[in-house]
Structure 1
Amino acid sequence: MAQLDLSIKRHGAFFNRCLQVLPSAYTPTDGSRLALLFFCVSALDILGLLPFDSDDTPRRVPAIVTHEQTERWRAWIIDTCLLPTKNAFRCSPSLTLPTTASYTPTTVHDAVLDYDPGHAAGTYFALATLLILGDDLSAIDRPAMMRWLSECQRDDGSFATGVMGYRSDMPGEEVPDYVKHFGERDLRFGYCVAASRWMIGGDLLQCSEDVNITSAIEYIRSCVTFDGGIGIGKLTESHGGLTYCGVGTLNLLLGDDGSSNGAALYEVLGEDAAQKMLRWTLEHQVLYVDDSDSENEDDDDDESEDGTLKKCFAGFNGRTNKACDTCYSFWLGGTLAMIPPSSPTSPSSLTSSATRSLALSDISRNSAFLLGKTQNMTIGGFAKAPGAMPDVLHSYLGLCSLSMGAAVAREQGLLVGDAEDDDIGILKAIAPLQALDPVLCISSRARRHGEILRAKWSTP
């Protein structure tokens, strides 16, 4: 296998460029600018290119972002995306309604709707980016935001995209659910609410307006499928991204510190179901077969002397019988990083491992797939699949997967040896990446900043 490398400077230039101008193909995403900002800023953080010190991994290249730039990003989030009520964020300033006109028409029931609502995903992206930038979150109304997050929960325990403001002059009229809640009904927004709750210290407020954790857990349990994964809802197909969201939500709602200790999963599902989910997740690392490569190699080169298949590229797919996809290297890898190999109460528990079950997957072959097949060595970034153009979402999640792989390599001492060895060379290439927190999908440095804020808020 040819020597593979990770160009931190080239990827840094890619994300820095995307923060200034985007190709026309991104026009439909104008309503999700917070998501685009998060992917780019957090990627620069994982690359070690933000002007913040970290104790995790020594910086190999100078920061390319100044403190003045980070302050402008921070101000942009608060000034353009935080609602006037300071209890939620909209996804983009393009969704802001003009103040010179009335956009609150009455319905047939004489109710008044608010057409500038907060968004669960936008709130997560905003809070996560602010933590990365070192903000103290003093601009938000934490109790009001916790109240809004709890209102996003539906009666069945699931969470909506957001809450439509509703006012009626009719005494005693109950708010219909189809009016109050809008958007899809799936685990993505449950994860966004749970992560936002942790980041604002909602569990520390000790207020009556909190999410119904018991109901949320039961909804997640109902989404677990027969093969061990988690689907978008009841009786649906297992999906890698939604499995990550379900497991992450359990860690955030039940963990003492919102960490990936894994106890929550075994507690809620039981050991048999948790082990089944672990097996399902591992089975979704699949070989990537490149037809052009196979045509240039002899058939005898496909097997080693003992008759076993030689190691090759092996990424992850999100559903059964699908091809490898860059983003699932994180969704499934992040899930493995939150599931211990055995129950935390087991005498032989291996939960002391910071990367949990991720080491059970083939880190080198996944890294080889990302570096050798979806990484763009011309303009930087990672594509969804080999041969495609890079985009900010897959580029960010590709880096997250590589960062977790580097954590496994450091933890297991796999970086020692001759770089000419394919496996060691690949792992040494990704070693400079900053550590990632798999639960919040931000750097460990940013998570520690969140822990500092939580400690401050918990002090009487």
Structure 2
Amino acid sequence: MAATEDERQVGDCEGERLDFLRDRHVRFFQRCLQALPERYSSLETSRLTIAFFALSGLDMLDSLDVVNKDDIIEWIYSLQVLPTEDRSNLNRCGFRGSSYLGIPFNPSKNPGTAHPYDSGHIAMTYTGLSCLVILGDDLSRVNKEACLAGLRALQLEDGSFCAVPEGSENDMRFIYCASCICYMLNNWSGMDMKKAINYIRRSMSYDSGLAQGAGLESHGGSTFCGIASLCLMGKLEEVFSEKELNRIKRWCIMRQQNGYHGRPNKPVDTCYSFWVGATLKLLKIFQYTNFEKNRNYILSTQDRLVGGFAKWPDSHPDALHAYFGICGLSLMEESGICKVHPALNVAA
């Protein structure tokens, strides 16, 4: 069967300029805020993260006017885990991912409701605060003291962070979340910065990329998390020598094929156009990459019918890859997309 015109355009993208279908992506993110396919049901406890991808995606497209900001702000505040009257849950405060526990709707700063299984999640606190900033909120209803107390309780002796008080994985992702939280609240008392920095340093692998932890494999995502965290702290050049930074730059720039992959000998993936691209931007060498190949790869994963981006061509789009595809294009100053803050991962 003959290939369609769109299929030929994707397949023969070398040397050909593909169109960025902005309006379809706006509608894609709108749908993410209204209704999701059944396969997303397992992400119910992370609903706030999906909201972040959609809201930040709309913000990157300068299209936040299509949503009711006030309603979403109230919903986000209702997910804040507030101190109870006796403050016995202070080390469990932050933001939860959705209303899955059935806690009474409370968007105020009044004392929270005690529940034995209620606690914040470090990634939800990061995305919750990010969404409030994106929507233009002044964070006046955020209990900053409680958020920072909850964050401190998640840091382990080795400097890394767990996601929840009960314990979980602990790695570079959550150091990044913690760094963003402290940066947005303009208060670094939420972490022992020296311990976090030592964890990042120990995570440098033999090939000079950063891993999720000491002795593990270098990865584009964890390299971004480590470098971005140090940039938010204002410590990058204190922590790594010029020679070490040059080696990190080399490791990152070698991740490009047409788009980027996260590890050697792995397939390229749309999201690494941001993870690795933003790292190269923070390291001030993104301009030496091949923009045309990167752009063509990202746009080859664009769904020309419903909008959004997938991780690979001819795959289904999803909220995460749609968002990071747009951020990857933003790094290359694509027309119709706002400038992304490469460390904080929101519109600058």
Identify if the C-alpha distance between structure 1 residues 153 and 96 changes in structure 2 by more than 3 Å, giving closer, same or farther.
farther
**Which of these residues, 87, 90, 93, is aligned with residue 96 of structure 2?**
90
Confirm whether residue 380 of structure 1 aligns to residue 324 of structure 2. no
Query: What secondary structure does 2:285 align onto?
Result: helix
Confirm whether residue 24 of structure 1 aligns to residue 38 of structure 2. yes
Query: What secondary structure does 1:217 align onto?
Result: helix
Query: What secondary structure does 2:149 align onto?
Result: helix
Structure whose CA Rg is larger: 1
Q: TM-score, normalised by structure 2?
A: 0.88
Confirm whether residue 273 of structure 1 aligns to residue 241 of structure 2. no
Counterparts of 1:31-430 in structure 2 under 5 Å?
A: 31-51=45-65, 65-66=66-67, 69-79=68-78, 81-85=79-83, 87-96=93-102, 114-164=116-166, 182-203=167-188, 209-253=189-233, 255=234, 264-286=235-257, 314-339=258-283, 356-371=284-299, 373-406=300-333, 430=334
Partner Cα distance (1:96, 1:194) in 2: 30
Letter in 2 for 1:199: M
Tell me, yes or no, if the aligned pair for 1:31 and 1:95 is still in contact at 8 Å: no
Tell me, yes or no, if the aligned pair for 1:149 and 1:197 is still in contact at 8 Å: no
RMSD after superposition: 1.7
Identify if the C-alpha distance between structure 1 residues 272 and 31 changes in structure 2 by more than 3 Å, giving closer, same or farther.
same
Tell me, yes or no, if the aligned pair for 1:121 and 1:189 is still in contact at 8 Å: yes
Partner Cα distance (1:214, 1:252) in 2: 14
Partner Cα distance (1:265, 1:198) in 2: 15
1:19-71 CA distance string (max 9 Å, x none): 111111111111110000000010001011123xxxxxxxxxxxxx15xx111
Aligned partner of 1:259 in structure 2 is none
Partner Cα distance (2:114, 2:346) in 1: 36
1:400-419 CA distance string (max 9 Å, x none): 0100111xxxxxxxxxxxxx
Q: TM-score, normalised by structure 1?
A: 0.67
Q: 4+ runs of 1 displaced by more than 3 Å?
A: 95-99
Partner Cα distance (2:274, 2:24) in 1: 21
1:189-235 CA distance string (max 9 Å, x none): 111011001111113xxxxx541111111111110001011111111
Letter in 2 for 1:230: L
Tell me, yes or no, if the aligned pair for 2:82 and 2:146 is still in contact at 8 Å: no
Query: What secondary structure does 1:155 align onto?
Result: coil
The Cα of 1:84 is off from its aligned counterpart by 2.8
Letter in 2 for 1:369: Y
Query: What secondary structure does 2:259 align onto?
Result: strand
Partner Cα distance (1:3, 1:359) in 2: 19
Identify if the C-alpha distance between structure 1 residues 192 and 95 changes in structure 2 by more than 3 Å, giving closer, same or farther.
farther
The Cα of 1:92 is off from its aligned counterpart by 1.5
The Cα of 1:266 is off from its aligned counterpart by 2.7
Partner Cα distance (2:148, 2:118) in 1: 18
Aligned partner of 1:173 in structure 2 is none
Partner Cα distance (1:88, 1:145) in 2: 5
The Cα of 1:278 is off from its aligned counterpart by 0.4
Partner Cα distance (1:150, 1:219) in 2: 16
1:160-212 CA distance string (max 9 Å, x none): 11224xxxxxxxxxxxxxxxxx1111010111011001111113xxxxx5411
The Cα of 1:431 is off from its aligned counterpart by 1.6
Identify if the C-alpha distance between structure 1 residues 84 and 147 changes in structure 2 by more than 3 Å, giving closer, same or farther.
closer
Partner Cα distance (2:183, 2:104) in 1: 33
The Cα of 1:95 is off from its aligned counterpart by 3.8
The Cα of 1:284 is off from its aligned counterpart by 0.3
Aligned partner of 2:87 in structure 1 is none
Partner Cα distance (1:130, 1:210) in 2: 19
Tell me, yes or no, if the aligned pair for 1:96 and 1:116 is still in contact at 8 Å: no
The Cα of 1:144 is off from its aligned counterpart by 2.2
Tell me, yes or no, if the aligned pair for 1:317 and 1:325 is still in contact at 8 Å: yes
Aligned partner of 1:435 in structure 2 is 339
Deviation larger for 224-233 or 141-150: 141-150
Letter in 2 for 1:328: Y
The Cα of 1:97 is off from its aligned counterpart by 5.1
